Every structure is written in C-alpha cells, then in structure tokens.
Amino acid sequence: MTTVIRPFIPATAKRLLPNRWDLIAFPLILGFLLFATTGIEGTWAPISALQTEPISLDAANLPEYALRTTLRMLAAMIASIVFTLVYGTLAAKSRRAGQLLVPILDILQSVPVLGYISFTVTFFLALFPGRVLGAEFAAIFAIFTSQAWNMTFSFYQSLRTVPNDLKEVSQNLRLSGWQKFWKLEVPFSMPGMIWNMMMSMSGGWFFVVASEAITVGDKTVTLPGVGSYLAMAISHKDLTAVGWVILTMTVVIIIYDQFLFRPLVAWADKFRLEDTMSQAAPESWVLNLIQRTRIIQQLLRPFGKLLKKLARMRLNITLPRAIHSAPHSGVSRGLDIVWGGVMVLLCGYVSWKLYSFISSEVGLGETFKVIGLGFITLIRVTLLIALASIVWVPLGVLIGLRPRLAEMIQPVAQFLAAFPANLLFPVFVVFIVHFKLNPDIWLSPLIVLGTQWYILFNVVAGASAFPNDFREAAANFHIKGWQWWKQVMLPGIFPYYITGAITASGGAWNASIVSEMVSWGDDKLAAHGLGAYIAQMTAAGDFPKILLGICVMSLFVVLFNRLLWRPLYAIAENKLRLN
C-alpha cells in the first residue's frame, strides 16, 4: 500500500494563489487595459493625421470609432463626477455661494452645447498645438457639458435632504466635516447619483455628433468616432451606415450596462435608508466575479484601505455652513447685506452691458419679438414636461420598486435615452409634409424625445432608494390605491422627481433649438418659437441676434426655475425629508 504525501500549503500562501474566478477576471481586465491603451495612443498623433485619414463609412472601422467615442465619454464622466462633488457641495452647504452657483447652474444647462464649443475649442487647441490631444479635450469638454448639470442637481438635492436624525448621529459621533461628507452625505446621494450617471452617459450620445466635428474658422477638425461616422452617414443619406451605428450603440450600451452601471447599482444598494433588508436586491455578475476572486482582491485591498484611511482622516477643513444650520448672528447678517449688495451690483453691471450691446446692435423691437417667441416655447416646454410626468412617474415607480424588472428595463431605457433623436427628424418632416400638418403642433414632441428620460431615471432612482421599512408599514396599515400614492410614494420620490423635472426642463429648452427647425433634403420646416429663432440666426451667422436669443432663453430658464422649481425644492427639503 502506497502513501500519497500531499504538500502542505499554509492558509496564508493559499490566499496568494489564483482561483478559477481570477482566471476569468484577469483576461477581462487585461483586455480593457489593452483597448484603453490603443484608444489613448491615437490622441498623441499630430493633428494633420486627421486630414490624411478621413472618416470612412466602412463598417469595419466602427469598433475602433466606438472605442474612441467610449473613452471620450468615460473621461467626460470622470470630469463630471469631480465637478459634481465640488460644485454641488458648495451650492448646497454655503447659503451665499448657493445664491450665485445655483442660478449659474440654471444658465449653464440652458446654453446650447455648440455655444460651449465655439468659445472653448480655440483654447484647447492652443494648449496642445499641432496635436490631436487638443481637439480631444475640446470634444471631451463638449460631452462634459451634456453630462455634468443633471448629476450636480441630483447631488445638490441629496445634500439638501439628508435626514436630520442621520445628521444628529454624525454629530454625536463627533465626525469632522470631511468624515461626515464621505461617511454620510456621499453614500446617501449614491442611488440617485448613479441613475443620473446613466442618464448622463446616455444623454452624451445625443451630442457626440456635434462634439466630434469641430469647426475652427474655415477649417473643420473631425475626430474618429461614432458621432462623426453618424454625421457622415446622414450627410450621404446612407441608411445602411445608420443601421450599423444603431447596432454599434446597442453593443456599447450593453457593455457599459454590464461592466459599469449594473455593478454600481448593485454596490449602491447597501446605502439604502432602511432597517430591514430589501426582498429582491439588485445583482451583478461582474461584482460577484470580483468579490469571488483571490489575487484581484489582494491587489485591490491596499487601494481600498487607502480610501478608507482618507475618508476617516480628521482634516481641519471647515465647510461652509448649510442654509438651515444655525441662526444668523449680527456679523452674519452684515455679511449677508454686503454679499447681497455685491450680487446686485454684479447683476446690474451684466444687465447694463447686455442692454447696451442689444440696444446698439439689435434694437428693442427685436428684443420684444424674441421675448414673445420665448413665451411660445415656454408653453411648449411646460405642456410637454407635464405630459412626460404623467407617463413616466407611474412607470418609474413600477420599475424602481422591482429590482428584477429594473435589471431588465435598465439597458432598454439607456438605449432609448441614448438614441439620437435627430435620426427621427426626417420621419417627422416627411409625415408633416405629406399630411400638410401644422409644424407648431407636430414638431413639439421632438423637444422631449431626448429629455423625458431625465424624469424616468430620477423617479426610478427615488423609488429604488425608497426605504423598505416604509413600504412594509404601508402594507401593514393596508394603505392602497390613490391613498398609497398620495401619502406614501409621491412624497417619497418628490425630491428626485423635482431634480429630474428641472434637468428635463433645461434640456427641453436646449433641444428646442434643433427641434423647432428641422430639414430633410429640400424640405424645411420651422415652428414659431425661441429655439427656431436661435437656429435661424445661427444659420445666418448673425452673432448679436444669436446672443440675444441665448440671453432670453437663459432668462426664461432661470425665472422658471426660481418661480416654480425652487419653491418645490423648498417643500421637498422642509416637509418631505425622510426622518
């Protein structure tokens, strides 16, 4: 009888050996690193290479184009997250800063993306003269402007509605401002912020066409990407190429969903505000795969320990006091008066400069005409946001309360939100011309095709974050039907809905520029409205009237937000906080 002697392996040594999950995860990680390196490599090429290698409609080039576009959108997303954490914190925690930053944010979301490109492209090209990297930064910044605003509004809303009992717990634990930020406020904002990240990523597809074809003077710099491929396919009326673009977008969205957003949603479920566990928690095979690995866990552990150590540091950073933190002292009231005076002087100076420019270049008659067109677009935006709310609020609650259903709907919603609405414009033009319909009515739905998803995604985020304790309490008290909506669910999702409605409203004003004036071949249609006015003046190259239209649009957006959405925000903060 022979005795088999097996080598003894200590438990500590076993943890250093790969398991079968490592053998699956390692090729995926190496593949992503290889693709990222390949995509970044092209950014260091001379800008003349873009002229020698023009965009081709050969479908074999689409994988490379999709990789370049995906990396740009990911870089813009990282920049948006940093901007959100800094800007949203200052706006929410400092009363004086919020008086300036929140209206600026309202204006920023109302400025067309093309307006940002025209002012920033020269700056970025000058940073890296003769290199593709300058054009890449200009494209990334343009995509950033389509992603950052709704994420910032979501984070701002979350900071303003943190439950008071959680704040009291953080005070009893003597957490510093830095620790409270990373241990309470950021985790509390995660569910809403992640769903807005999905919407931002999807909304970025709408603007890749504009961001990847950059005009400098009389020269156009076209970056390789899905957007430039789509622009060429539309200009050549190549429906086959458009079909390849749709297929490529579908594949990329599925990859983003499986490898980025679904793991984030599953990870953020632990930040839900409840005492009992959700019956059906969201899952992600990628997150499960990483959690079961051995070597990758060992490699990630030092990084995780570093982040925990940074979050627990008692840094002596004094963040500005919140608007509802403490009564104002005499010194504080004096500072408020000085700050208010500075704000009034600043607004007065800007208004005087705009008035001087407009009165000398345009005239008051044209100004009153544009204001009238603004009221027409205001009526369109208001009615369309109301209709979108009636449709998507119940559906968003249905999806958000069922994690399994959310997992199935999530990639579909992302694809519909990412689908470039301008691909449907020719269909509307042909339909309206054929049946001789009124463009003022039938062009209106185009305004919310791309912006209605802000409402859906935010309502889903609110329903997903709704405490399971409250749902069980409502079931125990047999609260059903309209009473359940009125007393339980609508108050619970109200802050999230307001965030979605604000961003949808601002996006609708922006989309009116391309939706109130559309064309397909020789057929051109225009509706009466401020968006059509800006589009017509842009086509004519009349800069003073373009500036007049943008200023009036910004004024409407700011006043609409201050008179309607901000009071509703105050209701959400003071009466509908989850305490």
| Model confidence at 513: pLDDT above 90 | no
User: Around 500, how many Cα atoms within 13 Å sit in the side-chain half-sphere?
Assistant: 32
Q: Categorise residue 479: left if φ over 0, alpha if ψ from -120 to 50, beta otherwise.
A: beta
Percent of the chain with pLDDT over 70: 84
Quickly state the pLDDT bin for 82 (edges 50, 70, 90): very high
Q: Can you give 86-129 as a three-state secondary structure string?
A: HHHHHHHHCHHHHHHHHHHHHHHHHCCHHHHHHHHHHHHHHHCC
Quickly state the pLDDT bin for 86 (edges 50, 70, 90): very high
Distances (CA, A) of 342 to 350, 352, 543: 12, 15, 30
Quickly state the pLDDT bin for 242 (edges 50, 70, 90): confident
Helix, coil or strand: residue 457:
helix
Average of per-residue pLDDT across 31-53: 73
Q: What is the model's pLDDT at position 579?
A: 59
Helix, coil or strand: residue 323:
coil
- Tens digits of per-residue pLDDT, 451-472? 888 898 889 888 887 887 788 8
How many helices (H) does the chain have, and how many strands (E)?
A: 27, 4
Q: What is the model's pLDDT at position 52?
A: 67
Closest CA to 464 of 404, 418, 408: 404
Distances (CA, A) of 291 to 191, 286, 287, 512: 21, 9, 6, 46
The chain-wide mean pLDDT, for the chain, equals: 79
Name the residue type at position 378. Answer: L
| Model confidence at 324: pLDDT above 50 | no
Percent of the chain with pLDDT over 90: 8
Q: What are phi and psi of 405, to 5 degrees?
A: -65, -35
Quickly state the pLDDT bin for 279 (edges 50, 70, 90): low
Average of per-residue pLDDT across 78-106: 85
Q: What is the model's pLDDT at position 87?
A: 92
Fold identical between 58-270 and 363-578?
yes
Residue spans per domain, the chain: 58-270, 363-578
DSSP string, 277-311: --SS----HHHHHHHH-SHHHHHHHHHHHHHHHHH
| DSSP category for residue 518 | E
Q: C-alpha angle 416/192/568, rounded to 5°?
A: 100
Q: What is the model's pLDDT at position 555?
A: 84
CB atoms within 10 A of CB 92: 27
Q: What is the model's pLDDT at position 318?
A: 58
- Tens digits of per-residue pLDDT, 550-569? 888 888 888 888 888 878 87
Average of per-residue pLDDT across 154-183: 85
Which of residues 76 and 212 earns the better pLDDT score? 76
Q: What is the model's pLDDT at position 112?
A: 65
Which of residues 16 and 573 earns the better pLDDT score? 573
Which of residues 330 and 29 earns the better pLDDT score? 29
| Model confidence at 380: pLDDT above 60 | yes
2-6, 204-208, 414-418: which has the minimum mean pLDDT?
Answer: 2-6
- For domain 58-270, which CATH number applies: 2.20.25.90, 3.30.465.10, 1.10.3720.10, 3.30.530.20? 1.10.3720.10
Q: What is the model's pLDDT at position 116?
A: 65
Closest CA to 462 of 201, 92, 196, 197: 196
46 pairs with which residues across the strands? 131
**Domain 363-578 architecture:** Orthogonal Bundle (1.10)
Distances (CA, A) of 285 to 259, 262, 291, 361, 400: 9, 9, 10, 61, 20
57-71, 197-211, 436-450: which has the minimum mean pLDDT?
Answer: 197-211
Average of per-residue pLDDT across 527-555: 82
Closest CA to 462 of 189, 164, 201, 261: 189
| Model confidence at 79: pLDDT above 90 | yes
Q: Which residue has the tokens 């601002």?
A: 506
**Cβ atoms 193, 151 nearer than 8 A:** yes
Average of per-residue pLDDT across 363-391: 90
Quickly state the pLDDT bin for 323 (edges 50, 70, 90): very low
Assigned token pair, 217? 């003077």
Quickly state the pLDDT bin for 388 (edges 50, 70, 90): very high
| Model confidence at 1: pLDDT above 50 | no
CB atoms within 10 A of CB 311: 13
Rounded Cα distance, 470 and 145, in Å:
37
Q: Please provide the distance, in angstroms rounded to a whole number, between the alpha carbons at the two ends of the chain.
A: 72
Average of per-residue pLDDT across 119-131: 76
Q: Can you give 30-41 as a three-state secondary structure string?
A: HHHHHHHHHHHH
Q: What is the model's pLDDT at position 420?
A: 64
Buried/exposed code over 545-568 (b: 16+ C-beta within 10 A; e: otherwise): bbbbbbbbbbbbbbebbeeebeeb
CB atoms within 10 A of CB 100: 17
Alpha-helical (H) ranges within 181-294 are 186-212, 226-235, 239-256, 262-268, 285-292
Rounded Cα distance, 396 and 466, in Å:
12
**Cβ atoms 83, 148 nearer than 8 A:** yes
Q: What is the model's pLDDT at position 14?
A: 57
- Tens digits of per-residue pLDDT, 472-502? 888 888 888 888 998 888 888 888 898 888 8
